[in-house]
Amino acid sequence: MKYSPKLVTESTLVLILSSFFFVHASFAQTPSPYELKTGREIALLGAGAAIQGGLFALNSTIDPLTPAEVSVLNRADINSFDRKATYQWSTSAARLSDVTLAGNAAVFGLLALGTKPMRQDIKTVGIMFVETIAFANGFERVVKAVTQRPRPFVYNPTVPLEEKLTRDARQSFFSGHATHAFATAVFTGEVFRHYFPNSRLKPVVWIGSLGLATATCLLRYEAGVHYPTDLIAGAAVGSLVGWGIPKLHQVKNQSSLGRRMDIQPWSTGSANGIYMRLAVFSR
């Protein structure tokens, strides 16, 4: 509401502005639900880099299986829940699992670049995603280097011997593909729902990203490179990291109304008042 100085006296204007708030409603961009803190980000990224560096030393401790060791492996020694995986082998399924994994990352990328609120906050979202992938990768690689569990195809006599005599053949637990797929899927769903809390597309984003992550796990099983327990553990760890990083960065101690309201004093020299801006969203 505006008052013309030709129609109201200065004293009346001062009284009115001192007694009432002016509310400006607009469909403005949602304030970022996340915040970066320099010290925390340095610590997180530094820890991620340190883990990656330590992996080189850990990987050197993994000795490939020898032909003699492979020859004495017996799938009957595998627990009944995992045993059927030793009958699986498909190089095409392994390649397709790389496609579905990349597809999950593509979904996040399209949302980050294709939606205005996320695109305008791309620095924050990007750093959070890098931290998510660094920690997801670090956890699974460290555990693989420690456990050195032979992959299911190592027990399959139809698989060529040369496939079994590599370091990678002893890095089954837990699944890196499952970890990365679910970390990306949960991260994508969480970030989208925080930027667009009222969007009808939230179920679509969740179902699509989790569907791709599930497909990745099924393909890794069909490929004969992981047991069900590898995939379950990877999905659990990935989901935890994908949820935890956004949660760690989420703006705290602000109500929904507090994030949408801006109140400021103002003065023209001859009159004083308070300006209040309330952002109204429609999503």
Decide if 154 contacts 77 (C-beta within 8 A): no
Q: What is the pLDDT of residues 75-134, one digit of tens each?
A: 999 999 999 999 999 999 999 999 999 999 999 999 999 999 999 999 999 999 999 999
Backbone angles phi, psi at 37, to 5 degrees: -125, 125
CATH at 161: 1.20.144
61 within domain boundaries: yes
Same domain, yes or no, for 51 and 169? yes
Same domain, yes or no, for 10 and 23? yes
Same domain, yes or no, for 224 and 255? no
Query: Which of left, alpha, beta for 250 (phi over 0: left; psi -120 to 50: alpha)?
Result: beta
Q: What is the pLDDT of residues 51-76, one digit of tens each?
A: 877 777 788 788 999 999 999 999 99
38 within domain boundaries: no
Same domain, yes or no, for 97 and 211? yes
What is the per-residue pLDDT for 117?
A: 94
Same domain, yes or no, for 154 and 79? yes
Q: What is the reported pTM? A: 0.78
**What are the distances in angstroms from CA 124 to CA 29, 33, 94?**
16, 10, 33
Q: pLDDT band for 27, please (50, 70, 90 cuts).
A: very low
Backbone angles phi, psi at 62, to 5 degrees: -85, 115
